Structure 1
Amino acid sequence: MSMTAPTFPKVEHLCGEKRVDALFQHGASFVCYPFRVLWMAVPLDKGQAEPSSLSAPVVPLEEATAVCMTPSVKVLISVSKRKIKHAVGRNRIKRLVREAYRLNKHVLVDGVSKDVCLHVALIWIPAEELSFSKVTQRMQQLLLRLQGELHPIDHNPS
């Protein structure tokens, strides 16, 4: 298993209204407090991911704008303005989440199949800020759970 560089460049950010809309319409979700996680596997270059090797929700082919060109994980981080009123607080929480993801992303990135691009949205649930150690601990749990949902066959030896 190769070790991924602990960076979070712009190409790993989930951008674009059409891609985000496709994620929110077709993605699967779970809660790993303090996050609500939406995720979806997107086929590379309009090809279908093999359903036998991947149990992730795969975007329909008619969603051509959501198709990726390179295998990767793209992440969106969201903090609600309704819950965190001040921009300073929202920005600090997003900074903590980005740093926690950057330090632990190797758990997920190294396990993603080469024939799909994984889109993930991390939505902050609580109305208060948590410590960096707690955010990092929960990020590790969430990435392990997401990896488990991507490859349930690997965790059940037969």
Structure 2
Amino acid sequence: MRLTYPKNEKLKSKTLIDELFASGKSVSAYPLRLVYLPTTFNNNVMAKTGVSVSKRNFKTAVARNRIKRLMREAYRLNKPDIFNNLSTPHAFMILYIGKEIPSFYHVNAKMKQLFEKFSNKSEA
């Protein structure tokens, strides 16, 4: 699997996002939380992923965008570990629930931990 995050893998559908928050399950590895929902997609993609940072915790767009860039990069680098054992298509939303701006190494470590918890929970 290529280490990319193309447009067709981005979660943009408002109805799917609403359904994800209404009936999805979640796992946490503070300061990240993953909300996921098994679903089907029209195109041949295994997962669609979105990232979000609370405006309540980070008032400036600069800080929110920085954290979102870090989360997308950590997701992109760890994507092969996640999807090699994923059998059904999923919709993912990764939320940053911390209160301080993290370093990339912290986000990357927590992203690995988060998807490790997801794979353990989805197998059970």
TM-score by length of 2: 0.94
> Residue 27 of structure 2 contacts residue 118 of structure 2 at CA under 8 Å; is this kept in 1?
no
| Alignment pair present for 1:21 and 2:18 | yes
Q: Secondary structure at the match of 1:11?
A: helix
Structure 1 equivalent of residue 64 of structure 2:
90
Q: Which structure 1 segments of 5+ residues have no match?
A: 45-67, 153-158
- The corresponding residue for 2:91 is 119
Identity of aligned residues (%): 37
Deviation, 1:71, is 4.1
Alignment gaps of 5+ in structure 2 = none
Larger Rg: 1
Code of the aligned partner of 1:85: K
Contact 2:27/2:114 (<8 A) preserved: no
Instruction: Report how many aligned residue pairs link the two structures.
Output: 123
1:78 to 22, 46, 52: 52
Q: How far is the alpha carbon of 1:127 from its aligned partner? A: 1.7
Match of 2:119 in 1: 147
TM-score normalised according to structure 1 size: 0.74
Rounded to whole Å, the distance in 1 between the matches of 2:121 and 2:48 is 17
- Offset of residue 83 of structure 1: 0.5
Contact persistence 1:38–1:120 (CA under 8 A): yes
Runs (4+) off by over 3 Å:
none
- Cα RMSD for the two superposed structures: 1.1
Partner of 1:135: 107
What's 2:7 paired with?
Answer: 10
- Matched residue type, 1:87: A
Partner of 1:128, secondary structure, is coil
Higher normalized helix content (fraction of residues): 2
